Structure 1
Amino acid sequence: MTVSNYTPQPRKLLPDWMIGAADRVMDYYIKRYLHCDPVILQNPPPPQEGHKYLLYAHIPFCHTLCSYCTFHRFLFKEHKAREYFVHLRKEMEYVKALGYDFHSMYIGGGTTTILEDELIKTIEHAKTLFPSIKEISCETDPQIITTPQFRNLKGLVDRMSIGVQSFNDDLLKLSERYEKFGSGEQIFERLQYAQELFPTCNIDMMFGFRGQTLDMLHEDMEKIWKLNPRQVTTYPLMVTSQTRKSVKNEIAATGNQLADQYRVILDTLGSRYNHLTSWTFGRTNDEGFDEYVVDYDEYLGVGSGAFSFLGDSLYVNTFSLRRYGERIAAGNTGVERRRQFDKHAIMQYRLMLGIFSHRLSRKYFRDVHGVDLDRYLMKEMIGLKLSGAVQDDPNDPDNIIVTDAGKFLGLVMMKAFYAGMDNVRAELRAPLKEADM
């Protein structure tokens, strides 16, 4: 199949009205649940016996700020960044003193590798504090992967995720990445070098750009196939309240174009890799990926702007670098916001994650949460079955099969959920003054 004559399969994943309905339902629940109340905590809740936790560490610095990026980040200033890493390691010590241990660590940003020496100190400190950590995942960009310092992360990071987005120069220019990271051809060459350094190299791609034709997307997927990374993540572009107004109406594709683009991804990567989640593909079925919320019901975040989900509550660390430093120096947690959820809301969230990860199990809901999924979330399960998103597994009554339509529905829902989380970030960043940055 060549790029020039590629056409997607004629079957629709979901009718347009159903995609619109899913967006409206998600919008309703996001407005209802995704807001946080002010709270000043001296201590986060202690760990619970038998619970499995992931440690998330946030590095909020970048050399340049991409117009479409909605994560918590500031323009890099070395003295502030070095001071921040010191506070980050101290917060990890504080968490250790509470009795926490972790099975995995995810380092996100920002640009996590912006100061490799500080990052290395932080990873080594985490491994010393939390000996149960078996895997460390990290993010970086295509520019830094060929620097001499980057090679020092070999042996420390198990999974490196590299934000490529596209190999198409027009799309790189549209997203303001061409000047920062080079042409698609240059990025392709750098990725071949990076794959030699880590057990798992994940390539982050993006779709949903306005002007991104099916041929463009297919060509990107063919280049991924030539690279043959162990893992690929294909994110849909997320335009939220934080996206700059100057690009909101220029950069994003319309909703009905998203489904056709997703079909291209399924037809290419889906036939060559294992489908780990609605937007992640891997060579094997047992590797970690960006959506750590799938593997870990609970996670604890350290760093400015980090989120934690512990028990029945979402906790958010202060977005102010100044207040974060002051609170950690005083021996307190960085948490300044909290949102407590009732059980029904948590079960809806777990159902969404089950669809997104294609791991929908009645046994999980019964054993972990003590509920009968089909009864407790009756309306949701009936809707999923009628839409063709799920079907019962004839070989295992506890297993629920997520269809291709369900995979796309999982993508639509997760995209809306992450956009809602970005709106929370926007709300918490809005009051920041110059002194906070």
Structure 2
Amino acid sequence: MRGIYIHIPFCHQICHYCDFNKVFFENQPVDEYIETINKELTLLKQSGTDFTKVETVFFGGGTPTALTAKQLDRLLEIVHSHVNVDSLSEFSTEANPDELTQDKLDVLKNGQVKRLSLGVQSFDEELLKKIGRSHSPEQAIDVVNNARRTGFDNISIDLIYALPGQSQTQWKDTLDQAMALELPHYSGYSLIIEPKTVFYNLMNKGRLPLPGEDEETMMFDELINRMERAGRTQYEISNFAIPGKESIHNMIYWENDEYAGIGAGAHGYLNGVRYANIAPLKRYMEHVETAQLPRIEENTVTPQERMEEEMFLGLRKTEGVSVKHFTEKFGVSLEEKYGAVINDLIRKDLVELQENRIRLTRNGIFKGNEAFQQFLG
């Protein structure tokens, strides 16, 4: 197990595009939930899971910074009791700009959190309101400056493009303001409309004016070009960083390695089994109280599935998939297993073979899903 993901499902405001497991913060058993996280980590250790090789811890949500400073402090205390934080390569948390107050920054810094991932999404005030965000562009800039003054130098922001009614001009302006912050890491995602979200319901009613496919492609192209000019290398389809500031935790996912998912609705991959935790808060907490891991779904990954995942996850990285590593990991050559598929994708200019690695071409980066699907049985 290389990483631990801890899910904090609480939010003060629900974003219109979000389909992650979340609940409104008010009137929820937040303190009890944090103690249940402690119990689940204990159960995982008792089940024989080795915590000594953990490289990363990541707080995600929901919104981890929806917690009070005192609650964050207790959560960090729990992590320190289970993990040798001094040996971690990375300790990260997601955060909302309007919730990351100075007292919370101090708690995170004292708790040895090293990396902040800020959900900025846009620097356009009108678009922020449209997508259900509660912060302003000014708050996003202020929190970056405050974090730096507190001693954080590994800061990332998330941006979303192809938003309802978003123009090329608005997107370029957001990139202008984002790049002016000169951060070491940026993530840029195209909006995906997921079921059971506000945007999904609006789309079904014909009330969601989304940019067309060509406009979306132009926005993605603008993102790549701007990052390249600023010296932020595209190391994964949606992620850009200066060398040494890549997200180590996310690389665990893309390298198809194992990690624990802790908390209500969290997903994990341990001992060759992908699993999902019980999502409803009360049911999750009640299950852990019975001294059982709160799994609602488990899938033992077959050798065929492992190879498929190795390809479609590994190809998300711009360095691609190592031919040598694939053979060592699975005991079969990449040529033998996927030679025909790879040759077809090369002909379509979706992948290329360079330096004994299979990776997406520039064209393939824009048509990644078309390439990934070819590796699925």
Same topology, TM > 0.5: yes
Work out whether 1:118 is the aligned partner of 2:71.
yes
Instruction: Report the alpha carbon displacement of residue 147 of structure 1 after superposing the two structures with TM.
Output: 4.0
1:3-402 alignment to 2 at 5 Å?
52-77=1-26, 80-97=29-46, 98-101=48-51, 102-115=54-67, 116-131=69-84, 132-155=87-110, 156-177=112-133, 180-182=134-136, 184-197=137-150, 198-244=152-198, 245-248=200-203, 249=206, 250=208, 252-272=210-230, 273-285=232-244, 287-288=246-247, 291=250, 292-295=252-255, 297-359=257-319, 360-393=321-354, 396=355, 398-402=356-360
3-state SS of paired residue (2:265): coil
Taking the aligned partners of 2:21 and 2:147, their CA distance within structure 1 comes to 26
Distance 1:344 1:99, change over 3 A: closer
What TM-score, normalized to structure 2? 0.88
What TM-score, normalized to structure 1? 0.76
**Structure 1 letter corresponding to 2:225:** D
Distance 1:105 1:239, change over 3 A: same
Q: Which has the higher contact order (CA 8 A, sep 6+)?
A: 1
Taking the aligned partners of 2:286 and 2:62, their CA distance within structure 1 comes to 21
Instruction: Report the alpha carbon displacement of residue 349 of structure 1 after superposing the two structures with TM.
Output: 1.7
Q: How many residues align?
A: 358
Equivalent pair of 1:54/1:296 in contact (CA under 8 Å): no
Unaligned runs of 5+ in 1: 1-51, 417-437
CA deviations over 1:78-98 (Å, ceiling 9, x no partner): 551111000001111122222
Taking the aligned partners of 2:330 and 2:175, their CA distance within structure 1 comes to 39
Equivalent pair of 2:161/2:189 in contact (CA under 8 Å): yes
CA deviations over 1:95-147 (Å, ceiling 9, x no partner): 22224212211111001122232233222322332225332111010101234
Distance 1:119 1:110, change over 3 A: same
Distance 1:137 1:252, change over 3 A: farther
3-state SS of paired residue (1:163): strand
3-state SS of paired residue (1:297): coil
Unaligned runs of 5+ in 2: none
Taking the aligned partners of 1:112 and 1:189, their CA distance within structure 2 comes to 19
Equivalent pair of 1:144/1:150 in contact (CA under 8 Å): no
Distance 1:73 1:366, change over 3 A: same
CA deviations over 1:308-329 (Å, ceiling 9, x no partner): 1224432110012122111211
Query: Bigger shift: 321-330 or 141-150?
Result: 141-150
Instruction: Report the alpha carbon displacement of residue 165 of structure 1 after superposing the two structures with TM.
Output: 0.5
Taking the aligned partners of 2:210 and 2:130, their CA distance within structure 1 comes to 10
CA RMSD, Structure 1 to Structure 2 (Å): 2.2
Taking the aligned partners of 1:332 and 1:259, their CA distance within structure 2 comes to 47
Instruction: Report the alpha carbon displacement of residue 286 of structure 1 after superposing the two structures with TM.
Output: 5.2
Taking the aligned partners of 1:246 and 1:82, their CA distance within structure 2 comes to 33
Distance 1:186 1:87, change over 3 A: closer
